[in-house]
């Protein structure tokens, strides 16, 4: 493969994350981490096949969760199963509540890494699902899971999308068995979900 076709993804040195405050699981202190992690002096684009095996770097991943609250206050969350053709092989056939993926060098805008991150998040959203409803969104926390092979090289930025209608549909054929499901039903059956989804559901909705 020619060098200019190698996929390069957005990373920060793991030591920067540790300096800001290492944690395991979910952390809702967005203001403590996000802007600092995205400072241009900390970020770079590196070959994905290299950093997938190098815990010295954390790949920054937007992880978008879609929630609908009906008139009675009942919460549902969009969930799906990852097909065998979806990107990360270690997550195939797992259930998930998160939409998202790597920020790539193709997302670089020249206006700073924050804009590149936002551009990459929009691209991932548009590639994976169609949201046929007005919505609001907010970054509500971060996920770190050093206890798994996948988690040790990734850092998740959790964005909660509140949709007016439960109208989210897949654009990728590998997003299967999908739809909105009551929060309590997901919480009662988390064993088939990828670790990040388990962490997010417990942290965001476990006390409901």
Domain definitions of the chain by residue range: 3-205
Exposure pattern of 181-194 as b/e (b: 16+ CB <10 Å)?
bebeebeeebeebb
**76 three-state secondary structure:** strand
Percent of the chain with pLDDT over 90: 81
pLDDT at 2: 45
| Topology (CATH) of 3-205 | Nucleoside Triphosphate Pyrophosphohydrolase (3.90.79)
Q: How confident is the model at residue 113 (pLDDT cuts 50, 70, 90)?
A: low
Round to whole Å and give the CA distance between 54 and 161.
31
Tens digit of each residue's pLDDT (9 = 90 or more) over 164-197: 999 999 999 889 999 999 999 999 999 999 999 9
Tens digit of each residue's pLDDT (9 = 90 or more) over 51-110: 999 999 999 999 999 999 999 999 999 999 988 654 544 545 789 999 999 999 999 866
Enter the pTM of the model. Answer: 0.91
Q: What is the mean pLDDT of the chain?
A: 91
Extract the tokens encoding 31: 């203001």
Residue linked to tokens 């979900």 = 193
Going from the C-alpha of 134 to that of each of 124, 161, 164, 175, the distances in angstroms are: 18, 10, 6, 22
Percent of the chain with pLDDT over 70: 90
């Amino acid at each position: 493969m020619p060098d200019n076709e190698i996929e390069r993804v957005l990373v920060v040195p793991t030591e920067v994350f540790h300096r800001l405050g290492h944690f395991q699981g979910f952390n809702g202190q967005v203001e403590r981490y996000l802007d600092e992690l995205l400072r241009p002096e900390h970020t770079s684009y590196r070959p994905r096949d290299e950093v997938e095996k190098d815990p010295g770097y954390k790949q920054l991943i937007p992880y978008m969760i879609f929630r609908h609250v009906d008139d009675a206050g009942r919460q549902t969350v969009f969930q799906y199963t990852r097909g065998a053709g979806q990107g990360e092989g270690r997550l195939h056939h797992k259930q998930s509540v998160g939409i998202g993926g790597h920020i790539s060098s193709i997302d670089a805008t020249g206006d700073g890494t924050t804009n590149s991150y936002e551009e990459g998040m929009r691209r991932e959203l548009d590639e994976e699902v169609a949201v046929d409803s007005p919505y609001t969104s907010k970054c509500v926390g971060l996920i770190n899971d050093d206890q798994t092979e996948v988690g040790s090289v990734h850092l998740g930025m959790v964005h909660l999308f509140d949709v007016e209608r439960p109208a989210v549909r897949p654009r990728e054929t590998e997003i299967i068995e999908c739809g909105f499901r009551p929060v309590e039903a997901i919480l009662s059956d988390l064993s088939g979900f990828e670790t990040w989804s388990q962490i997010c559901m417990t942290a965001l909705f476990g006390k409901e």
